[in-house]
Structure 1
């Protein structure tokens, strides 16, 4: 393991600081925005703006990297992110924040694609699984670690914005100082919507709805907690427990989906997420303990859905199409995260903060219902012919780029084919 990780250790350290900054900024902005009196609709648009920039970046950023190279592009993207987080602390204005978040989302797509392609090029067939697992773990601990930095300072000051700038600056050092050769040019993401739907309708529809639910909660969860009366530390704990609960649930959910129809597992987990969400929306618990418990149940179920839906799509796809299918589903997930906050914000304004979970519950009910319907229309793939479940790059609930799919050990068939062309 040590031999496999040493060639990419510096890059993984830089990745950790990048996601620490992402986690910090993702929680800090809705908290500061709520303090400034921004409406739920505006706060939802912050998430929509970031996700829109991210999805656009998945298509445009590769051209930037081809033109100026990996190292200069990576440094430029991180410099812009660092500049944006500092300007966000100085320019406390709704319009300025929306523009800055879109730019940050675009640059985050660029930095993530560069890191993922760099790791993929350094990975061998023997080390790919180890590197992939560490990459997923680093994104998890980075996002959660960044969120847990929020209670260390007052959100009404510029301190946390400055800390974010420091984290992004440190993230640039490993690749900037590295003497290693740059990776091969980034590949364009290929999105075949008709082909994805024909391959697996439930994965297509399910991933889009999962993106809507996760996007709404990921952007507005902190707003809900603030409006519900939780203090700064409790908000950070609530948002972090959602990710941790989902990470813990990955293994048992995956094992179960390997043994039975994945659509039934999708339906069961979606129903559990819907019930937990409806409990928050209807009961409207006031105590911190009750809220955290219900949100933990919600996170365990909701954050386990994505990799199961991807595994189901790959059950019906040929091995050489793994990268195309999984990359396309990632972009569908990104589109969902654009829709979710845009819908969730106005509904929270109209019906109160707890209505956020009515939005997520509606999406999860649709997933459960459609999964059951599809299980009666199409026979499941025999267990001996199924793709083995593996946690995916969106396990943490954050967006990932199609480049991350190449890190997955299951992408080796595509890699070999590309190398032979």
Structure 2
């Protein structure tokens, strides 16, 4: 294990600090915005603008990297992210924040794609699984660790904005100072919606709805906590436990989906997520412990849906199409995360903070119903012919990039032009 991970240790350490900054900034802005009296619509648009910038970045960033190279592009993207977070702490204005968040989303897509392409270039067939697992773990722990940092300072003070900038600066060092050879150019991203729908209608519709639900909660969950009267520590615990619960639930849910029709698993998990959301909506508990328990149950179910939907789509696709199908679904998930916060903000304004869970419950009810309908129309793939289930960070309300899919052990080494690294490249990273 150590031999497999040592060549990419610098990249993984930089990734940790990058996602620490992402987690801290992603929670700090809605908390500070709520304190400043920003409307639910404006706070929802913060998530919309970031997700829109991220999706655009997946298409445009590869061209930037081709023009100026991986190291310069990586430094430039991270430099802009650092500049933006510091400006966010200085320019406390919702219009300025929306613009800065869109730029940050764009640059985050670029940095993530560069890191993932570097990791993929250094991975061998023997080490790919270990590197992929560590990468997912680091992204999850980074985001959660960053979120928990809000407990140690007042969100109305500039300290947390400065700390976030420091984290991004540190994230830049391991890759910038590395002597490792640059990887191959980033892959072009293509989104073929008709083909995606023909492969698996339930995965297409389901992942769009999962993106809507996860995007709404991921952006406005902290706003809900603030409007419901929770303090900073409780809000940090609430949003973090959602991610952890989802990460833990992916393993039993995945094993279950390998043994039975995945559509039944999608329907069951979606129904359970909808039930937890409806309990929050109807009862509207004010006790912090009750809220956190219900949100943890919701997060466990909701955040386990994405990788099951991806696995189901690949059950009907050729093995060499894994990156194409999964990459398209990932971008479709990103589109959903643009819609979710845009819808959630006005609903919360009209019906109160707990109405956030009306949006998520509605999305999950639609998934459950449509999954049952599709199970009556199309036969399930036999167990021995199914794609292998693998956990995915996007299931935990995180956006990945199509470049990172090449790291997945299920991806063919020859798909999309991938290849084994040369001996010279391996020595360069030793």
Note the 1:293-308 alignment, pairs <5 A: 293-308=293-308
How many angstroms apart in 2 are the aligned matches of 1:393 and 1:148? 19
Shift of residue 393 of structure 1?
3.2
Deviations 1:102-128 (CA, angstroms, capped at 9, x unpaired): 000000000000000000000000000
SS at match of 1:391: coil
SS at match of 2:395: coil
Query: Match for residue 31 of structure 2?
Result: 31
Shift of residue 160 of structure 1?
0.2
Query: Match for residue 395 of structure 2?
Result: 395
Change beyond 3 A, Cα 1:311–1:414: farther
Shift of residue 419 of structure 1?
4.4
The answer on 1:69 being equivalent to 2:99 is no
C-alpha contact (below 8 Å) 1:393/1:404 kept by paired residues: no
C-alpha contact (below 8 Å) 2:323/2:416 kept by paired residues: no
Query: Match for residue 143 of structure 2?
Result: 143
How many angstroms apart in 2 are the aligned matches of 1:417 and 1:379? 33
Query: Match for residue 49 of structure 2?
Result: 49
How many angstroms apart in 2 are the aligned matches of 1:417 and 1:178? 25
Query: Match for residue 8 of structure 2?
Result: 8
Deviations 1:389-421 (CA, angstroms, capped at 9, x unpaired): 10023133111111110000011254486549x
C-alpha contact (below 8 Å) 1:274/1:362 kept by paired residues: yes
Shift of residue 388 of structure 1?
1.1
Query: Match for residue 350 of structure 2?
Result: 350
Query: Match for residue 379 of structure 1?
Result: 379
How many angstroms apart in 1 are the aligned matches of 2:207 and 2:4? 32
Shift of residue 190 of structure 1?
1.7
In the superposition, the TM-score normalised over structure 2's length comes to: 0.97
Shift of residue 248 of structure 1?
0.7
How many angstroms apart in 1 are the aligned matches of 2:233 and 2:274? 26
Query: Match for residue 110 of structure 1?
Result: 110
Shift of residue 280 of structure 1?
0.5
Query: Match for residue 426 of structure 2?
Result: none
How many angstroms apart in 2 are the aligned matches of 1:412 and 1:10? 26
C-alpha contact (below 8 Å) 1:278/1:357 kept by paired residues: yes
How many angstroms apart in 1 are the aligned matches of 2:414 and 2:269? 31
Point out the more displaced range, 215-224 or 408-417. 408-417
The answer on 1:197 being equivalent to 2:197 is yes
How many angstroms apart in 2 are the aligned matches of 1:52 and 1:16? 23
Query: Match for residue 427 of structure 2?
Result: none
How many angstroms apart in 1 are the aligned matches of 2:38 and 2:89? 15
How many angstroms apart in 1 are the aligned matches of 2:103 and 2:396? 22
How many angstroms apart in 2 are the aligned matches of 1:47 and 1:119? 28
SS at match of 1:332: helix
How many angstroms apart in 2 are the aligned matches of 1:346 and 1:393? 28
SS at match of 2:60: helix
How many angstroms apart in 2 are the aligned matches of 1:136 and 1:331? 18
Deviant stretches of 4+, over 2 Å: 412-420
Change beyond 3 A, Cα 1:292–1:395: same
* Long gaps (5+) in structure 1: none
SS at match of 1:25: helix
Change beyond 3 A, Cα 1:417–1:15: closer
Query: Match for residue 19 of structure 1?
Result: 19
How many angstroms apart in 2 are the aligned matches of 1:28 and 1:417? 40
Shift of residue 189 of structure 1?
1.0
Shift of residue 266 of structure 1?
0.1
Shift of residue 256 of structure 1?
0.3
Deviations 1:86-113 (CA, angstroms, capped at 9, x unpaired): 0000000010000000000000000000
Change beyond 3 A, Cα 1:393–1:189: farther
How many angstroms apart in 2 are the aligned matches of 1:368 and 1:83? 43
Deviations 1:268-309 (CA, angstroms, capped at 9, x unpaired): 000000000001111100000100000000000000000000
Note the 1:148-297 alignment, pairs <5 A: 148-297=148-297
C-alpha contact (below 8 Å) 2:243/2:303 kept by paired residues: yes
SS at match of 2:389: coil
How many angstroms apart in 2 are the aligned matches of 1:419 and 1:132? 16
C-alpha contact (below 8 Å) 2:304/2:396 kept by paired residues: no
C-alpha contact (below 8 Å) 2:249/2:301 kept by paired residues: yes
